[in-house]
Chain A
Amino acid sequence: MELTFYIAAAVAILSTIMVITRYNMIHALLYLVVSFMSVSVVFFTLGAPFMAALEIIIYAGAIVVLIIFVIMMLNMTKEDIQREKEWLKPSVWVGPAMLSAILLAELVHILTTSNPAQTEALVAVDAKLVGLALFGPYLLGVQLCGILLMAGIVGAYHLGRQKKKVIHRFLQERSAAA
């Protein structure tokens, strides 16, 4: 289980690095699917199998497919990939990479020098406990999630609707007649 965790973690980090360095968006999204699947393996080794299933179904299955459909509607060409290559110059990414590396080094320092807790055996939190917590003390949160999803649907419909551009009102009448 320990070795599985480390292998999955290495795959997750490598595929995420591949995601953020690709020029082609479809390639990046396919690497993103690999990243989500390896994170779901990490969830499985941490004793959360239901969350591993949810990760694959919702992240890799729904969200990535949604982004792929939008990219297909945008008609990306070779020139866009070329422009992406021009945007990602070393002079652009060296500064932010160094600042982020400093922050990560601080995080590693904090995690490794903290006082060690006592060693415990791996205890899986099964889905039954999660369901009892969801529909017990977190009932209000579940309802708020429902409202949030409703707002997401209405917002996506309202924002995604394409209004027909009319240049002149005579043309509007003609287009209405046609």
Chain B
Amino acid sequence: MSTASMEAALLLAGILFMLGLLSVLIRRNIIFMLISVEIMLNAAGLAFIVAGTRWVQPDGQVMFIFILTMAAAEVSVGLALIMQIYHQLKTLDSDAANVMKG
């Protein structure tokens, strides 16, 4: 792989991460915030794959598998929390959930 391609791939990972971060910052809907976290995790995994390809080592892909596992566990627990919040507060507004005592 040429170095220009590697830098372009890292740049793509950076742009995707930035878009996910921006979406976490500007959205108030809690499901959209969860989706944005998924975008950011995906971008981090892309950076790992690029690094693994650059140095021809399998470690990057191993880390991507770990990130995938973590994202799956995270989204299941997060969705359960979202459903619990929706049943308690009847809204998906993340600002409504600023008090611990539901």
Binding site for B on A (CB under 8 A): 2, 5-6, 9, 12-13, 16-17, 19-20, 25, 28-29, 32, 35-36, 39, 42-43, 46-48, 50-51, 54-55, 58-59, 62-63, 66-67, 70-71, 73-74, 80, 84, 87-88, 92-93, 96-97, 100-101, 103-104, 107-108, 111-112, 116-125, 129-130, 132-134, 138, 141, 145, 148-149, 151-153, 155-160, 162
Contacts and interface: CB of A to CB of B under 8 A. Distances in A.
B58 A12 contact: no
Interface residues of B, number: 67
B58 A130 contact: yes
A174 B70 CA distance: 44
B78 to A, nearest CB: 9
B12 interface: yes
Contacts of B97: none
Nearest to B68: A58
A100 B22 contact: yes
Contacts of B42: 35-36, 39, 55, 59
A107 B28 CA distance: 27
Contact of B62 (A29, A43, A97, A134): A134
A97 B75 contact: no
Contact of A9 (B8, B27, B32): B8
Contacts of A93: 22, 26
B17 to A, nearest CB: 9
A120 B71 CA distance: 32
A94 to B, nearest CB: 9
A13 B89 CA distance: 35
Interface of A is mostly: helix
A70 B35 contact: no
Interface in B14-53: 14-16, 18-23, 25-29, 31-32, 34-36, 38-39, 42, 46, 49-50, 52-53
A130 B86 contact: no
Which 4 A-B residue pairs are closest in the complex by CB-CB distance? A152-B73, A96-B25, A159-B80, A20-B23
Contact of A67 (B3, B34, B46): B34
B46 A43 contact: yes
B96 interface: no
A156 B26 contact: no
Interface string B61-80: 11011101111111111011
A156 B34 CA distance: 15
